[in-house]
Amino acid sequence: MLTPDSTHTPPVPAAAAAAVADWQPLPIRARALCLLGALPLAIPFAVAGFILARVLELPVFIGLLALVLGVALAFWIGLKQYRYTFWRLDDDGLAIRRGNMWQRETRVPATRVQHLDLKRGPLQRRRNLATLIVHTAGTRHSSVAVPHLDADDAERLRDRLGRQIDHDDDL
């Protein structure tokens, strides 16, 4: 029985708690690479600012202000991409969830996986990160990339999905 000054939190169903807990975020080391990856978004702002300053005969300061605004927007977008990217591997396959307001969830069933690649650029190697590329059945453009995973997690995902492919081939 609840007393008037006691607080009651409704119990969370075990399935719902497990569903939330299964999603893995990107490692903290990936944040800088997500910010750098969004930097090309600043280029149109800078170009537009300098063209506008030139055409309207405004000071060059306007172009620099547009560049700073573009870099700030790119960093904000990169931070959001980092903060709202999650992955999950279960018995059915790999799932990737991206976004906050407009969420995209990509599901790759293990039965559709053709082959797997790990890609590590120099900045990723320096931070012990990797990109897992899952090629699926279909056209040559049917692939899903999960960038900036922890290198150990990426190898574990590759090996586990690869074992599922080998197991399905044996049946």
The domain that holds 143 is classified in CATH as 2.30.29.30
Identity of the residue numbered 3: T
pLDDT at 1: 42
Last residue of a domain, one of 61, 81, 101: 81
Q: Does residue 129 belong to any structural domain of this protein?
A: yes
Statement to judge: residues 100 and 47 lie in one domain? no
The tally of domains found in the chain comes to 2
Length of the chain: 171
C-alpha span between 45 and 64 (Å, rounded): 10
Least confident of 4-18, 25-39, 62-76: 4-18
pTM check: above 0.85: no
Question: Taking residues 73-93, what's their average pLDDT?
Answer: 92
Statement to judge: residues 125 and 162 lie in one domain? yes
Question: Taking residues 99-103, what's their average pLDDT?
Answer: 89
Q: Does residue 22 belong to any structural domain of this protein?
A: no
* Tokens, residue 59: 């000071």
pLDDT at 27: 95
Statement to judge: residues 119 and 155 lie in one domain? yes
Phi, psi of 143 (to 5 degrees): -150, 155
Question: Taking residues 21-33, what's their average pLDDT?
Answer: 91
Statement to judge: residues 103 and 156 lie in one domain? yes
Statement to judge: residues 98 and 76 lie in one domain? no
Higher pLDDT, 11 or 83: 83
Statement to judge: residues 103 and 37 lie in one domain? no
Least confident of 12-16, 98-102, 140-144: 12-16
Least confident of 43-47, 60-64, 84-88, 144-148: 60-64
Q: Which residue do the tokens 């547009």 mark?
A: 66
Higher pLDDT, 5 or 132: 132
pLDDT at 7: 42
Q: Where are the alpha helices (DSSP H) in 101-150?
A: 122-126
**CB-CB neighbours of 17 under 10 Å:** 11
Contacts of 145 by beta carbon, 8 Å cutoff, 6+ apart: 131, 132, 133, 134
Q: Does residue 5 belong to any structural domain of this protein?
A: no
Statement to judge: residues 126 and 166 lie in one domain? yes
Share of the chain above pLDDT 70, in %: 82
Statement to judge: residues 42 and 57 lie in one domain? yes
Residue (of 80, 105, 83) closest to 94 by Cα position: 105
Share of the chain above pLDDT 90, in %: 47
Contacts of 99 by beta carbon, 8 Å cutoff, 6+ apart: 84
